[in-house]
Structure 1
């Protein structure tokens, strides 16, 4: 058994070079892969949405959980903030899923939602200071991840 075909016998197995060029009859458009920053930003946007949903439910169900009473908030009261955080969180989760699936509309909406979230938590700072600072920092990271242009990952 030799790997080279004999001169009298036809070759029974095609060589790899010929198979590679003839097996694909049609070309397809290449699908761009999601970059690492977009995957990170999309998942963090979804996580921020879940955080905001939890904050909204807490503000609606247990307003006494927060550090200050409703009279010391900068604007609104806890039920209003609960509705705001709940609505913002649901839309953030949807936009986060859109970013992970590579939808361009979700990137633009995600940037706006992360900015609104940061501004909202700045206003909500007296009620839950450490948590608000953490969410503001995560919102800035999400904005950066959605704005930065990086090469697709391989």
Structure 2
């Protein structure tokens, strides 16, 4: 007896989803929910990080002669605004909106790059935020309707 194979072969015997792709598993759907919650948390932490940078410049390291040097107040406003938008989009992802995933991919990518640029000012948190953003980006890209 020959076994079927091909790009859409599912050994569990489940029928392919409309459009020829596989259906989402519970694990993938759970990962997207987790990604949305993490976007909410990352947004709130970005808001707090921004408020701290705006209110008290002495909390972060001052790095002279950095290529991407902005004032810490500027970095604070960047983190504050991105945090607010990430929180809203994270709610969209949790509610299952397709726009939330699409906009989330773009915003999380931007957040990843901005945390890389912020690395000299707050290295430990920036590395954690980069890893978190990479995971969220992966989870949002894996999900298919």
**TM bracket, shorter-chain basis:** 0.7 to 0.9
**CA RMSD of superposed structures (Å):** 1.9
The answer as to 2:136 corresponding to 1:146 is no
Give ranges in structure 2 of 5+ residues lacking alignment.
1-25
Alpha-carbon distance in 1 for matches of 2:65, 2:35: 33
The structure that has the greater radius of gyration is 1
The two structures have a TM-score, normalised by structure 2, of: 0.76
| 1:76 CA displacement | 1.3
The answer as to whether partners of 1:35 and 1:150 remain within 8 angstroms in 2 is no
- CA offsets 1:83-139 (integer angstroms, 9 cap, x no match): 110000000000000000000001011111111111001111000001000000000
After superposition, where does 1:5-154 map in structure 2 within 5 Å? 35-68=29-62, 71-73=64-66, 74-149=68-143
Give ranges in structure 1 of 5+ residues lacking alignment.
1-32
Alpha-carbon distance in 1 for matches of 2:78, 2:32: 26
Distance 1:72 1:51, change over 3 A: farther
List 4+ stretches of structure 1 deviating above 3 A.
none
Alpha-carbon distance in 2 for matches of 1:90, 1:126: 23
| 1:150 CA displacement | 6.5
